[in-house]
């Protein structure tokens, strides 16, 4: 009889013989997707088989794991704790059996990137084109967010989150591209009008939000007189309406430049110094496929190149 703890470890491993380890792959899919239907599609099971697997894991772990709250589903605290260790365990299992690594030519995975609508406006089409060329069998999933939360970085199987440097992150981040605020006006505004003239003389189109739009605090500090002509909730309608109806707006340069390919716009530099508004990459800390991370990182840099 062992007296150094090996007997205890051995007994724990022996107990695994009574557990169907095939349940671990669908379990991870359920925890990441938070949906029996989406998890079933992801691993190639029927919805009935996935529901059966969830029931067995609930009984085994003595935890509900996935619970419905109104029209949405959430994970229990125990389920949230399982995601990281479960991913690491399955990655190690893949290494043991020597499954081939990520091959962009043949891989059929869903690549999930979370970003704001404005960042998607700049990058999503370029990402789609590059993926079609370099990883033709993959699927791009874009999850649009507003203000990121801690869950944003780990939920729904998100591989990477793209966020403004203005927002905090609990995990390490890396700059994807730099951006800045510019003045956007209709193309038919007087050409001799300076950016400051435009801000003073043209009605402003502003996103209707409870949070104060950052550059306007600078205008207030400089005692610049301006008038808001339209408040609108949809951010991407702002440059479109400026181009078609007139007025002025304050936008990220990359968004304004992209919108100028669709509607005639005048873009000028903001008349006062402002800090940058770069976009950063924050990787899901539980993502263990380092070759895939390196490949997707380069893909994002290529998509973000002006």
pLDDT digits (tens, 9 = 90+) for 96-148: 665 556 789 998 888 999 999 989 999 999 999 999 999 999 999 999 988 78
Answer yes or no: pTM beyond 0.95: no
pLDDT digits (tens, 9 = 90+) for 29-47: 888 888 888 888 888 888 8
Q: How confident is the model at residue 246 (pLDDT cuts 50, 70, 90)?
A: very high
78: in domain: yes
State what percent of residues in the chain have pLDDT above 90.
46
Last residue of a domain, one of 48, 69, 96: 96
Do 28 and 73 lie in one domain? The reply is yes
CB atoms within 10 A of CB 248: 26
102: in domain: no
Question: In sequence order, what are the beta bridge partners of 114?
Answer: 143, 161
64: left (phi over 0), alpha (psi -120 to 50) or beta: alpha
Number of domains in the chain: 3
Local structure of residue 182 (DSSP, 8 states): E
1: in domain: no
- pLDDT of 163 > 80? The answer is yes
162: left (phi over 0), alpha (psi -120 to 50) or beta: beta
243: in domain: yes
pLDDT of 1 reads 43
- Bridging pattern class, strands 181-186 and 265-269: antiparallel
Could you list the residue range(s) of the whole structural domain that residue 216 is in? Answer: 181-269
Q: How confident is the model at residue 177 (pLDDT cuts 50, 70, 90)?
A: very high
Residues 6+ away with beta carbon under 8 Å from 278: 164, 165, 175, 176, 177, 178, 179
> How many residues can be counted in the chain?
306
Residue pointed to by tokens 């380069």? 298
């Amino acid at each position: 009889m062992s007296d150094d703890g090996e007997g205890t470890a051995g007994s724990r491993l022996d107990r695994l013989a009574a557990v169907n380890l095939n349940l671990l792959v669908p379990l991870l899919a359920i925890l990441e997707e938070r949906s029996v239907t989406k998890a079933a599609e992801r691993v190639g099971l029927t919805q009935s088989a996935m529901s059966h697997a969830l029931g067995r894991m609930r009984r085994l772990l003595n935890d509900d794991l996935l619970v419905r709250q109104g029209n949405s589903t959430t994970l229990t605290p125990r389920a949230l704790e399982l995601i990281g260790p479960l991913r690491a365990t399955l990655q190690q299992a893949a290494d043991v059996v020597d499954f081939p690594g990520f091959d962009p030519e043949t891989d059929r995975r869903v690549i999930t990137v979370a970003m704001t609508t404005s960042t998607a406006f700049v990058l999503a089409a370029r990402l789609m084109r590059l993926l079609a060329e370099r990883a033709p069998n993959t699927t791009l999933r874009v999850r649009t967010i507003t203000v990121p939360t801690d869950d944003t970085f780990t939920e729904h199987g998100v591989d990477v989150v793209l966020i403004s440097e203005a927002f905090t992150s609990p995990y390490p981040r890396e700059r994807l591209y730099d951006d800045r605020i510019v003045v956007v006006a209709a193309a038919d505004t007087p050409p001799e009008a300076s950016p400051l003239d435009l801000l003073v003389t043209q009605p402003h189109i502003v996103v209707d939000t409870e949070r104060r739009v950052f550059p306007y605090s600078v205008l207030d500090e400089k005692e610049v007189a301006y008038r808001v002509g339209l408040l609108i909730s949809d951010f991407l309608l702002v440059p479109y309406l400026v181009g078609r109806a007139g007025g002025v707006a304050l936008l990220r340069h990359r968004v304004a430049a992209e919108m100028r390919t669709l509607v005639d716009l005048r873009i000028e530099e903001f008349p006062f110094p402002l800090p940058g508004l770069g976009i950063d990459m924050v990787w899901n800390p539980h993502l263990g496929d380092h070759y895939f991370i390196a490949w997707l990182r380069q893909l994002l840099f290529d998509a973000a190149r002006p």
